[in-house]
Amino acid sequence: MSESDVLASLLPETRPLTDAEVRQVLAGALGQLDLAGKRVLAIIPDSTRTAPIPLLARLLGELLNGRAAQVDFLVALGTHMPMNDAALSRLVGAEVAAGRFGPHRIFNHQWDDPATFAVIGRITAEEVERFSHGRLSLDVPVAINSLALAYDHLIVCGPVFPHEVVGFSGGNKYFFPGIAGPEMINVTHWMGALLTSMGTIGIADTPMRRMIDHAAAMIPTPRTNVSMVMHGSSLVGMVVGSMTGAWKAAVEASARLDIVWCVRPYRRVLAIMPEMYDDLWTGAKGMYKLEPAVADGGEVVIYAPHIDEVSYAHGHILDQIGYHVRDYFLAQWDLFKHHPWGVLAHSTHVRGSGTFLGGIETPRIRVTLATGISPQRCAKIGLGYMDPAAVDVSAWRNREQEGILVVPRAGEMLYRLRPGG
Same structural domain, 142 and 191? yes
Q: Do 14 and 157 fall into the same domain?
A: yes
Strands 100-101 and 104-108: antiparallel
DSSP-derived letter for residue 59 is H
What pLDDT score does 79 carry?
83
Tell whether the torsion through CA atoms of 339, 217, 170 and 291 is positive or negative: positive
Verify that 393 and 331 share a domain, yes or no.
yes
Shared domain for 220 and 284, answered yes or no, is: no
Q: What is the CATH number for 378? A: 3.90.226.30
> Around Cβ 390, how many Cβ atoms within 10 Å?
7
Residue 87 has pLDDT above 50, yes or no: yes
Say if residue 196 is in the same domain as residue 266: no
| CA-CA-CA-CA dihedral for 342, 345, 349, 351, to nearest 10 | 120
Q: How many CB atoms within 10 Å of residue 376? A: 8
* pLDDT tens digits, 158-199: 999 999 999 999 999 999 999 999 999 999 999 999 999 999
Cβ pair 165, 158 in contact under 8 A: no
- 326: which DSSP letter? H
User: Looking at 257, 292, 323, which one is the last position of a domain?
Assistant: 257
Among 236, 257, 278, identify where a domain stops: 257
264-308 per-position pLDDT tens digit = 999 999 999 999 999 999 999 999 999 999 999 999 999 999 999
Q: Are residues 323 and 234 in the same domain?
A: no
Give the number of domains in the chain: 2
Residue 150 lies in a domain: yes
Q: Please list, in sequence order, all residues whose beta carbon lies within 8 angstroms of the beta carbon of residue 379, skipping any fewer than 6 positions away.
A: 385
Residue 128 CB coordination number (10 Å): 22
Residues 48-82: tens digit of each pLDDT: 888 999 999 999 999 999 999 999 999 999 888 89
Last residue of a domain, one of 204, 236, 257: 257
- What is the per-residue pLDDT for 3? 43
- On whether both 89 and 206 belong to a single domain, the answer is yes
**What ranges make up the beta strands (E) of 46-152?**
70-75, 100-101, 104-108, 117-123, 140-145
Same domain? 348 vs 327: yes
Length of the chain, in residues: 421
Q: Range of 247's domain?
A: 6-257
pLDDT of amino acid 4: 47
The pLDDT value given to residue 421? 61
410 vs 300: CA distance, rounded Å: 11
Distance CA 361, CA 192 (A): 20
* DSSP category for residue 390: G
| One-letter amino acid of 164 | E
Asked if 348 and 244 sit in the same domain, the reply is no
Note whether residue 1 is domain-resident. no
**Cα 249 from Cα 311, distance rounded (Å):** 34
